[in-house]
Amino acid sequence: MRLSKITAAAAIIAASVAIPAGTASASDLSTGPDATSVASQQQHWYEPAVMNAAPSKVMPGAKITFDGAVATHGGKPLGHITKIASYGFAAGSHPAIVTHNHSLDFTATATASQTPGTYTAYLYTSDHPNNAAATASFKVVSPAPAPTATINVNPTGAANGQKVTINGTLPTGTSRSGMFAVTSPAFAGKGATSMKVKTDGTYKATATVSNTPGQYKVSLLCNGKQLVSTPFTIVVLGGSSAS
């Protein structure tokens, strides 16, 4: 980020030893500047303040670290940090908390806002009382939606006395030790007659249709709580009547 002192010094020396026409040859460095002259010129270099944000993409409420340096002139700091602020910080994190504040470099932390978006953090220093000395951008990204359970009934419509198959998947991270059940007013006994949950998170069940023809709901439950449901129709196809 900062200009290399070695590269810059080499550039000064190169410019200083350029030989005008009619003078000493390029191989004669006696007319070039001495080390004291180069060091004297280096002391007049100005380097602006810099700041970086890491990581540049964070989840809502995550921590962000900022590091950088204040402006310098001749290798000496021109000021000190007064604050690092951003609309992308959480309400209780205005401004960022400076954890390391050396005369030439700093480190600070802040908590990201809960609102996704792209934000800019502003570094304010004593030598820039009215304007930001440096900025750093970061993005608060939306969390991926939590995977939901799925349920399918095959066929989606059947007559009394017929059997249907129910299958689907459980949400990622769901404990297999839970009490799972497939229930529906459309089924004899109000639920599936058999159900198996596999280690990969998929499940399968079967049920016998038995109720008045019409629209019903088939639901997957875990410990008595509904995870997902799907519509099901009992049709009149000459099957056995409801008991």
Q: What is the CATH number of the domain that holds 124?
A: 2.60.40.10
- Position 128 in a domain: yes
Are 157 and 130 in a shared domain?
Answer: no
- Position 199 in a domain: yes
CA dist 195 to 68, 155, 165, 179, 183, Å? 59, 17, 10, 11, 11
Are 134 and 51 in a shared domain?
Answer: yes
Are 131 and 163 in a shared domain?
Answer: no
CA gap 222, 180 in Å, rounded: 5
The pLDDT of 42-51, averaged and rounded, is: 82
Q: Which helix (H) or strand (E) holds 52?
A: strand 50-54
- The domain boundary, picked from 140, 172, 202, lies at 140
Beta-carbon contacts of 125 under 8 Å, excluding residues fewer than 6 positions away, are: 49, 70, 71, 78, 79, 80, 81, 82, 133
- Position 158 in a domain: yes
Residue 217, helix vs strand vs coil:
strand
Beta bridge partners of 226: 221
Using CB atoms within 10 A of its CB, is residue 188 exposed (0-12), middle (13-18) or buried (19+)?
A: middle
Are 160 and 226 in a shared domain?
Answer: yes
pLDDT in tens, 107-122: 999 999 999 999 999 9
pLDDT band, very low/low/confident/very high, at 66 (cuts 50, 70, 90) = very high
CA gap 88, 81 in Å, rounded: 19
| Total number of domains constituting the chain | 2
The pLDDT of 40-65, averaged and rounded, is: 87
Residue 137, helix vs strand vs coil:
strand
Are 106 and 126 in a shared domain?
Answer: yes
DSSP for 173-186 reads T--TTS-EEEE-TT
Selection from 143-147, 177-181, 222-226 with the highest mean pLDDT: 222-226
pLDDT band, very low/low/confident/very high, at 8 (cuts 50, 70, 90) = very low
CA gap 160, 236 in Å, rounded: 8
CA gap 221, 225 in Å, rounded: 5
CA gap 238, 243 in Å, rounded: 14
- The domain boundary, picked from 120, 140, 160, lies at 140
Of 133, 135, 35, 158, which Cα lies nearest the Cα of 81?
Answer: 133
Are 78 and 99 in a shared domain?
Answer: yes
Are 171 and 216 in a shared domain?
Answer: yes
Size (the chain), residues: 243
- In angstroms and rounded to an integer, the radius of gyration of the C-alpha atoms of the chain is 36
Are 107 and 156 in a shared domain?
Answer: no
- Position 131 in a domain: yes
pLDDT for 239 equals: 44
Is the pTM higher than 0.75? The answer reads no
CA gap 72, 140 in Å, rounded: 32
- Position 243 in a domain: no
> Which residue range forms the structural domain that includes residue 136?
47-140
